[in-house]
A and B are shown apart, each in its own frame.
Chain A
């Protein structure tokens, strides 16, 4: 007991100090806001850009338009065709990434200090003046079609898609944002222009930077980068509650191992119980090898290679989801064990020792995320998207430490609903059938 207390105390005292991560809130002369962590140690800057809304803003009947549009941003702009753009980027040794998900269109860039102005000019061109030429549209459609096809025979993807469809139905969260082969094939250049006009505008912009750049220089970069971007886009979609009826759905698929996705209701980041729930998740199915599910399903019984759970918080919904894969002959037992762990935790809660371990892990691992310009920029833009203040970085660990065992166990009773834990199983599971 004394040893445990001492360890805990040492942890608190010795945890890396996050006061060193100094976030500056920068406003450009043109009025664009960004967060910055300045570090002149390595001569490059990482930039993260998000436009809220993402593929959820696909117009009715145009599923896949935003994803296709994001994929085309690097395929030529201004006077450069696809090859010319890629060659210019290579010559600058800049790195650009364009992507989209259910909640945002994202742009990541890393640029050398040496030629930053030229890299910014090139990225500006991609953001504001993409060509969307027909040859590139056809080629990228082919690539997306190929991914859709690959997903159709990937048990992991099938499980996730089937779960989403059952939970969210017609809401954009209920279907793959790649679109269907038919919907993608039907998209025209006008649809792509419309998708860009809907999703990439200044009223939904979030920016962060980390690395070798001063606030003043970042201000200039911001004004140049977003010059000419339209002010407003499409309205955001409605919130949706996942439908979780506690049933098991089996999707027959020819594979030696069944893939399982399970979920129940979650909670918002703004919920007063959020940190208690995050600690509870860490104890039940968190990262690493010491969580209850990992221990019961893998370590004790050898039923899987890995199992974990996450509190998923999207802009318009939230849920608590987990997943694993298990041999067709063993998956019934694995599901039974998951249900047992869930019911037992809901009923009896967690122990003081488990909570202490979860706290030291969550508080101790937090500073480890802030290693490197790329990671810092990513965390900063994510915080802005979910509405956290800049000083959250220094307050967050204190909020976790303040959670009591009574809090966590109260939340276990409140939140965990074993009878609503809903399973999607893809494979040929022995002894598992769909509930009517």
Chain B
């Protein structure tokens, strides 16, 4: 044991500065931003285009259109007909896909580094030249409805979380699921998809990220060639979404479904996000989540509920501060059979109260900081992961400088910062508490 503590002290001497990312940036005349992350260990490249347009930018009543368009982006252009893009990437040994979230829509390909030219040409082409037939739209609408059935409607846990989010946000679009509400998805038209496309799919709303075995000057030259000639959109204005009014009343939900295997209690609090030039509070909340509910052995919720009191199968906390608008900090407890949700919730609240009274354990805090430093090393092994971090940040109101400062901001957080952030966070008027159970009336909410 003492040998291990000695090792810890030694390890803390490593300076993160020695591990600075090999990141360079450029901006094209039409407003498109470019980021290059170099990693020359393998002759592979990841090419991504991130649009600053996600489901939270949708018009009310058109939920799901951002994700629908993401699917339709594979339907082809004049030069690359329907379905060909994926086929060409695959025939070149690559992999391609896309995803949509609240704040962004992302397209990416991963393939041999010398094929960058090919995928950049096709990605630039479909940014402005998509062709959609009524048939494409009709079939693909069936696919997204099947996707909703598979991901959400077949999973009572997913339905429960959808209801929680809807109750958490009184006005922010984060209360609407990215995949969409079924009745609105069913009504989405070709015109809806095209209107979304024409508004947001333009170089001045996009960020190019290229990571892997490439040289920044070569990437910039290719970007100028393919993305450079694209016309910017006039409609791109700074994103200002409906904001939350003061939340004055605690919300409590009772959810019952015979396929809920494990009754559980979940509580989410409205939480601040990482802001440009102001990431301190989000950094403190990142530590708070790790202290309360990060590791299944050492976090406070696990230790108290699973180890000492033996009343929980599992318990945890989660927070991701990379978000354009205020987000959530979430706690959960799955009680062991025979323990009520009421008792589980009371025990969870006792852990929070004790933490606020006693403060941060300095040893625990030091271990977390060590781990966060080590993350910087482990992350370098996966350059695609680094690329995603930058993309996420830049489509969430942050800059390259913010992302690069983030590790230092995390290391600068003090125990007092964490406690202050916790005190500001844990206000039940800003919270939604949900009980998920197998049978309605199994237990009544207090």
Contacts and interface: CB of A to CB of B under 8 A. Distances in A.
B240 interface: no
Interface stretch (B36-44, B183-191, B222-230): B36-44
Interface in A357-387: 357, 360-368, 370-374
A93 B374 contact: yes
A364 B92 contact: yes
A237 interface: no
Contacts of B154: 155, 255-257, 259, 325
B99 interface: no
A431 to B, nearest CB: 18
Contacts of A152: 261
A301 interface: yes
B379 to A, nearest CB: 9
Given A39-B41, A42-B381, A305-B146, A154 B261 contact: yes
Given A83-B303, A256-B154, A367-B43, A115 B90 contact: no
Interface in A222-254: 254
B307 A139 contact: yes
B314 A143 contact: yes
A393 to B, nearest CB: 13
B370 interface: yes
B377 A368 contact: no
Contacts of A135: 307
B405 interface: no
Contacts of A361: 90-91, 93
B93 A93 contact: no
A150 B307 CA distance: 22
Interface string A330-366: 1000000000000000000000000011001111111
B260 interface: yes
Nearest to A43: B377
A162 B340 CA distance: 32
Interface residues of A, number: 89
Contact of B92 (A11, A115, A301): A11
Interface in A69-117: 74-75, 79-80, 82-88, 90-93, 95, 110, 112, 114-115, 117
Given A83-B298, A150-B261, A44 B381 contact: yes
B382 interface: yes
A327 B306 contact: no
Contact of A365 (B5, B42, B95): B95
A305 to B, nearest CB: 4
Contact of B370 (A42, A91, A305): A91
Given A254-B259, A325-B154, A299 B313 contact: no
Contacts of B110: 368
A364 B94 contact: yes
Interface stretch (A165-173, A287-295, A311-319): A287-295
B356 to A, nearest CB: 22
A427 to B, nearest CB: 9
Contact of A327 (B149, B336, B381): B149
Contact of A302 (B140, B310, B337): B140
Contacts of B42: 16, 20, 367, 370-371
A299 B83 contact: yes
Give the interface residue-count category, chain B.
35 or more
Contacts of B146: 257, 302-305, 325-327, 330
A7 interface: yes
B133 interface: no
B428 interface: no
Nearest to B75: A299
B357 interface: no
A90 B295 contact: yes
Given A92-B4, A112-B374, A149-B262, A42 B307 contact: no
Contacts of A42: 377, 380-381
B313 A142 contact: yes
A145 to B, nearest CB: 8
Contacts of A410: none
B334 interface: yes
B93 to A, nearest CB: 1
Contacts of B8: 91-92, 115
19 contacts: A7-B91, A7-B92, A11-B92, A44-B377, A75-B297, A87-B297, A91-B7, A118-B7, A139-B307, A146-B314, A256-B153, A257-B150, A295-B83, A305-B144, A360-B93, A367-B44, A368-B95, A371-B42, A374-B382
Given A15-B112, A42-B380, A327-B149, 6 more contacts: A16-B112, A93-B370, A139-B307, A146-B261, A305-B150, A330-B146
Interface of A: 7, 11, 14-17, 20, 39, 41-44, 46, 74-75, 79-80, 82-88, 90-93, 95, 110, 112, 114-115, 117-118, 121-122, 135, 138-139, 142-143, 145-146, 149-155, 254-257, 259, 287-290, 295, 298-305, 325-327, 330, 356-357, 360-368, 370-374
